[in-house]
A = this chain, B = another copy of it.
């Protein structure tokens, strides 16, 4: 698709300017972006109104409408988010390691921007600003392709950000929006080798799978979280019930929410009613094996492999009684998505065994899976949570939007 290639060329043309910009220059541009966002609240809300009207007319669900909606408060919040990124330490230029080799060569492994980053996401206009600001701070050009339902909002936000770039003396093409929201434009981005240094899909399982299967450019997979809490035979059961309740209900729509609970058989009879009592406060629907139904009664719907593999993102949870920690780990290995997994236990041995043997971005002992988050980990704003193993794993901040380059200084060394 020529249009996407044109965007790629335009990004490539400004890549060196943004990648060699000083921290001050980048922070001044971010400050200008924040100012311009608040100065253009009315215009942005008006653009968002057009999207909202179409969303209502098309019968978009209330929760999706909520994610699409921008008002004054949210736009001020976006500007605050941009200002928070100004405060983050610039990773570019940091010397990761270095040495003088026996032959006198001085090698410095130096952090540098990735280059040009593509982001494909859904109808969440806040991602437009977040992602652009994070990419910019890390010295990258960005090509944004948001969901078509947010088109007018995104167009307005990107226009405002590009004006801010221009005002601060930076090339506007550091931030570009894909204005063609067809499937073809997404497909073209996935094959934009030579221009895109990485493509980050942010969204549901369908989007991410499509990118992983079709992209020939490097991809960072984000987000799918079929997370579990394993309640060990040595668990503090009150703590376990609190953790399950929190991990399931504090924000069910996010990827670090727990979807399944695994209970050691020795404590199941005592624990499950305690857990159910708490979850009932939020009317959480339980799916379980026969043993669980035997303990909790007929309100428990039957669980099969498909249920155990489901990321509900809702007030629903699967339950399984397991004979031992090994069976819990096997279940997680089979159905988990390598995102966040937790054990509740007072056994040091079991805690150690679980953290060593469970393969996930974050493995918790006696804490809620909900903490897998850039802010909670102390990294500042995040671009997403990687569930893959290459390059970045877990919450990705601006550091993960950079790579390294070996700068080698000599005085005529030959080999």
Contacts and interface: CB of A to CB of B under 8 A. Distances in A.
A396 B197 CA distance: 19
Contact of A412 (B198, B242, B356, B410): B242
A62 interface: no
A99 interface: yes
Interface in A377-415: 377-378, 388-391, 393-394, 403-415
Interface string A20-38: 1000000000000000000
Given A101-B376, A216-B213, A368-B414, A355 B389 contact: no
B107 A407 contact: no
A298 to B, nearest CB: 30
Interface of A: 15-16, 20, 99, 101, 105, 107, 114-115, 193, 197-198, 212-213, 216, 218, 220, 236, 239, 242-243, 245-247, 250, 351, 355-357, 359-368, 370-372, 376-378, 388-391, 393-394, 403-415
B413 A357 contact: no
Nearest to A256: B415
A407 B218 contact: no
Contact of A357 (B20, B372, B410): B20
A101 B20 CA distance: 33
Contact of A405 (B365, B370, B393): B393
Contacts of A16: 357, 359
A218 B356 contact: no
A367 B220 contact: no
A405 B394 CA distance: 8
Contacts of A393: 403-406
Given A16-B357, A212-B216, A390-B391, A365 B413 contact: no
B105 A389 contact: no
A361 B115 CA distance: 13
Given A246-B414, A367-B411, A367-B412, 18 more contacts: A15-B359, A101-B377, A114-B390, A212-B216, A218-B390, A245-B414, A361-B405, A361-B406, A363-B405, A364-B408, A364-B410, A365-B408, A367-B414, A372-B406, A376-B415, A377-B406, A391-B391, A393-B403
Given A101-B378, A357-B16, A366 B412 contact: yes
A186 to B, nearest CB: 17
22 contacts: A16-B359, A20-B356, A20-B357, A101-B376, A101-B377, A105-B367, A107-B378, A114-B389, A115-B389, A193-B212, A213-B216, A247-B414, A351-B409, A361-B405, A362-B405, A363-B406, A365-B408, A365-B410, A367-B411, A368-B414, A377-B406, A394-B406
A415 B357 contact: no
A378 B99 contact: yes
Given A20-B357, A114-B389, A250-B415, A410 B198 contact: no
B410 A366 contact: yes
Contacts of A414: 242-243, 245-247, 250, 367-368, 370
A362 B405 CA distance: 6
A351 B407 CA distance: 10
9 A-B pairs with least C-beta separation: A367-B410, A246-B414, A390-B391, A391-B391, A389-B403, A370-B415, A362-B406, A367-B413, A239-B412
A250 B356 CA distance: 46
B363 A407 contact: yes
A246 B415 contact: yes
A213 to B, nearest CB: 5
A171 to B, nearest CB: 15
